[in-house]
Amino acid sequence: MELMKPKKLNKGDSVAFITLSWAGASVYKDRYLIGKKQLAETFDLDIIETPHALKDEDWIYNKPKERLNDFIWAFKNPDIKAIFTIIGGDDSVRMLQYLNDNLVETIKKILKYLSVSQIQQLVILSVYMLVS
């Protein structure tokens, strides 16, 4: 299997913001919005939150499969060129049981992760041979 390398981001590209672990964006919404604005303006990117990225702490904690569905949604969306995790955390490991072997076989995206979200990064690198 050959390594897949995503293309670099360009001005105006869309990137997905996703919550894979802790719901920090909903807890510290003001800080999240400042960071989102800074990233969008500095790099001229279109930031798109995944469908559940801004849900509250209880919802995020109790729905690991829905968090993974957000991840799949971002990978399958042809308009999204990169996926950025909003915050790291140790709860993302609970999504692994729902991973599908066909998740990213032919989809090339940039994945920017924080902290323990590297679990998804390692799975993608090892299973799907995706460079990020």
pLDDT in tens, 10-63: 999 999 999 888 898 999 999 999 999 999 999 999 999 999 999 999 999 999
Task: List Cα–Cα distances, 20 to 11, 44, 76, 80, in angstroms.
Answer: 26, 24, 17, 17
The predicted-structure confidence for 57-86, as pLDDT tens digits, reads as follows 999 999 998 988 898 898 889 999 988 888
> Which CATH number applies to 14-128?
3.40.50.10740
DSSP label of 106: S
pTM of the model: 0.76
Domain spans, the chain: 14-128
DSSP label of 130: B
Cβ(92)–Cβ(120) under 8 Å? yes
